[in-house]
Amino acid sequence: MSFSITDPSPRQKAVAGALVIAYALITMLPLIWIVSTGFKSSADSIAYPPKIAFEPSLEGYVNLFTAQTRQTPEYLAENPPQTWYEEIVHEKGMVIAGPSRFGERFLNSVIIGFGSTFLSVFLGTLAAYAFSRYRIPLKDDLLFFILSTRMMPPIAVAIPIFLMFRNLGLSDTHLGMILLYTAVNLSLSVWLLKGFIDEIPREYEEAALIDGYTRFQAFRKVVLPQAATGIAATAIFCLIFSWNEYAFAVLLTSGTAQTAPPFIPTIIGVGGQDWPAVAAGATLFLLPVMVFTILLRKHLLRGITFGAVRK
Amino acid sequence: MAEIVIRNVRKEFGSFTAVQSSSFKVEDGEFFMLLGPSGCGKTTTLRMIAGLELPTSGEILIGGEDVARKPASQRDIAFVFQMFALYPHLNVRKNIAYPLVSQGMSRAEVRRKVEEAARILGIEDILDRPVGGLSGGDRQRVALGRAIVRDPACFLMDEPLGALDAEFRERMAEELRALHDRMGATTIYVTHDQLEAMQMGDKIVVMNHGVIEQFGAPQDIYDKPATLFVAEFIGSPPMNFLRFHGALPPGATQATLHHVPLGLPALREAFEGDMVYGIRPEHVRLSDAAPYRGEVLATEYLGTTQVVTLATANGEVKARIPADQPARVGESVGLDFDGRTTTVFDARSGRALRSALNEGVLHG
């Protein structure tokens, strides 16, 4: 192996590598903290200085998924624990009364997050295609109006929306939340996708039209495959927003349709400061977006730099 | 294959008229060129024939059937784009097969036809390659393959050689013409390159500002231009224009420029006013005896010939003469014009006056 002047020397490579690792550690520290706290016992989670080496425990996860009640020692002695998770609860002088609400709330998040993402991207793609390809009266003004819905902070419209939802019977329903997040995301989705579709030369569709396909077939078979990177990138942005959204969720949901973000902080109030359960909830909450992003990562990286360079 | 008739076709984009009421006819099996500078409406005309734009008014007949209001997919035509427009997510074979798949043809039949098209174009060895890494020439061949594979009523080509480099261009032009001759397919070809149009076309339509200036065989358009625009656009260097004022009766065979009578084909109409005496550079000879004088301004050596630029009393004149004939800058020489080849134009409207030379060619 030989080195040229332009190639970094092994020493430079080592320094650069160390810097990258240090930077990664710093940025990932909060993540490591959350994930590790989820596997600590209650005592370890509040220990000072923080314990780096600890005995892993699933207490946080058990607390997260179960509702518990305190029992007398006589009762506990008479009813020995049957499973590993009952045993964890048993040791604290408690018994499992049933499942907690976390599962439901998490499912709500999945339904509302993915539902609104699907709708935003689906409608956004169609609208962006129309804006990109057809002569639409007042096109520029319409595009600006669409974008302008994004300019207000959500909290400024929260009360009107709250009243509107109450009158329409949409408060605390899945449909209401899906519609709301779709409305918020749609502007982003139309704008992002219009950019991607603008980059696809019209000739491809025209070639397909001439090759005997209808306009819609040309859209589906020629435009969609080429807009895939843009659609993936847009889907990730939409999902991240609706998955993490907190302000509307707190105001507009309380039970049936409550998502995980407003629910997780309430875990802390149940039976003392249960940090491991909160951390466990946060960890699980991180997973879907992470998995989704990793699955689409290749598209995302190509997607957000797409069109930056003139071909 | 089919003949194509364009009748009073007009296209407006809002207040802008891209194509003024145009009519022409493409015979069955003809290689037909739509020629003109950019923005002249030639591509719009082609796109209307293809069905990618709908005409504001007029008729488009392909094989006798009016298709002006039909979508592109029902017109049975093939289109070759300047940028090729190969589907980037499909490989060569799938690109060529694409129009057949839309017709619901059986898989074995598709395979057979694709391979036949590939053989005609000599691209059998790249059938399974992705289109991304192909050279310009190969991309163009694949685009042609996609066009010929379905046996359309006609081929429409929008500057198909425009994206190729010069060296490839010539070869593809020959290939295209040979392909056309072998298949006998009606072809309409858009170009802004007058040499390409003359070299390949059976017939040429010259357009400018959305108006058809002239249509006919390349020789007729070159030798007997109908307007000043055509005379200037076709030919390199273009036709010489000597401006003069006077009155010519019908049957006149001479025009007097700067006190010298110059020959012209017998006129078939009378005209009085500002006129232009048009003559091709190759019909101008340097001759010491000639009474019409000019001063040599520059010479351009072109191998077998040279182009000499001269200043005359009626404007600049270029003469294409043998390279070995002496011509020195600053020298005063006599100019001999071959009167049988000249065209006289109305200087204001740009229209050619009818004469014994062009009376069979001019329309309307």
Residue A212 to residue B103, Cβ atoms within 8 A:
yes
**Using a CB-CB distance cutoff of 8 angstroms, which residues of chain A are in contact with residue B99?**
210-212
**What pLDDT sits at residue A118?**
97
- Residue A171's nearest CA partner among A243, A117, A251, A108 is A251
Q: Which residue of A has its CA nearest to B103?
A: A212
DSSP state of B351: B
CA distance A292 to chain B (A): 24
Cβ-based contacts of A214 with chain B (< 8 Å): 71, 73
The 10s digit of each residue's pLDDT in A141-186 is 999 988 888 888 877 888 899 999 999 999 899 999 999 999 999 9
Q: Suggest the residue from B44, B46, B62, B73 to mutate for an interface test with chain A (most A CBs closer than 10 A).
A: B73
Q: Rounded to an integer, what distance in angstroms lies between the CA atom of residue A40 and that of residue A61?
A: 10
B135 reaches A (C-beta below 8 A): no
What's the pLDDT at B269?
Answer: 92
Query: What is the number of CB-based contacts under 8 A between chain A and chain B?
Result: 56
B81: nearest CB among A207, A213, A217: A207
Q: Taking all residues of chain B, what is their mean pLDDT, rounded to a whole number? A: 91
Task: Write out the two tokens for A49.
Answer: 């200085």
Q: Greater confidence, B170 or A124?
A: A124
Give the Cα separation of B357 and B224 in Å (integer): 7
| Nearest residue, CB atoms, A212 vs list B50, B88, B102 | B102
B50 and chain A in contact, CB less than 8 A: yes
Pick the CATH number of A103-305 from 3.40.710.10, 1.10.3720.10, 1.20.200.10, 3.50.50.60: 1.10.3720.10
How many CB atoms lie under 10 A from the CB of residue A264?
A: 22
* CA nearest to A199, candidates A291, A309, A99: A309
Q: What is the pLDDT along chain B (364 residues), one digit of tens a residue?
A: 689 999 999 999 988 999 999 999 999 999 999 999 998 999 999 999 999 999 999 999 999 999 999 988 888 899 999 888 898 888 999 999 999 988 889 999 999 999 999 998 889 999 999 988 888 888 888 999 999 998 888 999 999 888 788 888 888 888 889 889 888 889 999 999 999 999 999 999 999 999 999 999 999 999 999 999 999 999 989 999 999 999 999 999 999 998 999 999 999 999 999 999 999 999 999 998 899 999 999 999 999 999 999 999 999 999 999 999 988 999 999 999 999 999 999 999 999 999 999 988 875 4
| Across A7-33, average pLDDT | 92
Is the ipTM above a cut-off of 0.90? no
Q: Is the pLDDT of residue A88 over 90?
A: no
Give the mutation candidate from A134, A139, A200, A211 for the B interface (greatest B CB count, under 10 A): A211
Give the best residue of B87, B139, B151 to mutate against chain A (max A CB count within 10 A). B87
Alpha helices in chain A (DSSP H): 10-38, 42-45, 59-65, 73-78, 84-90, 102-133, 139-148, 154-168, 174-198, 202-210, 215-218, 224-244, 247-252, 260-267, 275-295, 297-305
Q: How far from chain centre, in Å, is Cα B171?
A: 19
Residues pairing with B245 in the sheet: B274
Q: Which residue of B has its CA nearest to A203?
A: B85
Residue whose entry in the numeric block shows the structure tokens 């065989």: B217
State whether B52 and A225 contact (CB < 8 Å): no
Q: Are B240 and B279 in contact (CB under 8 A)?
A: yes
Q: Could you please state the CATH topology (level 3) that the domain comprising B4-223 is classified under.
A: Rossmann fold (3.40.50)
Alpha-helical (H) ranges within A39-153 are 42-45, 59-65, 73-78, 84-90, 102-133, 139-148
> pLDDT digits over A28-62, tens only?
999 999 999 999 988 888 888 888 888 888 988 98
How many whole angstroms separate alpha carbon B78 and alpha carbon B1? 12
Specify the CATH number of the domain B228-346.
2.40.50.140
Q: In what order do the strands lie in the sheet with B315-322?
A: B284-286, B332-337, B293-302, B305-312, B315-322
CA distance B40 to B54: 17
State the pLDDT confidence band at A271, using cuts at 50, 70 and 90.
low
Cis ω before A276 (30° cut-off from 0): no
Q: Residue A308: its pLDDT value, please?
A: 41
> Are B78 and B156 spatial neighbours (Cβ–Cβ below 8 Å)?
yes
The answer to whether residues B287 and B266 touch, using CB atoms and an 8 Å cutoff, is: no
Query: Cα dihedral sign for A237, A239, A242, A245?
Result: negative
Every domain of chain A and the residues it spans: 11-100, 103-305
Contact B71 A225 (CB under 8 A): no
- Write the Ramachandran bin of A258: left for phi over 0, alpha for psi from -120 to 50, otherwise beta: beta
Asked whether B70 and B54 are in contact (CB, 8 A), the reply is no
Domain limits of chain B?
A: 4-223, 228-346
Q: How far apart are CA B213 and CA B196, in angstroms?
A: 18
Q: Which amino acid is at B66?
A: D
As a whole number of angstroms, the distance between CA B15 and CA A68 comes to 76
B105 Cβ under 8 Å from any chain A Cβ: no
> How confident is the model at residue B364, as a pLDDT?
44
Computed from CA positions of residues B173, B175, B178, B179, in that sequence, does the dihedral angle turn out positive or negative?
A: negative
d(CA A60, CA A277): 4
Query: A289-306: per-residue pLDDT in tens?
Result: 889 888 887 776 665 554
Facing residues of A45 across strands?
none
- Would the CB atoms of B77 and A210 count as touching at under 8 Å? yes
Confidence of residue A108 (pLDDT cuts 50, 70, 90): very high
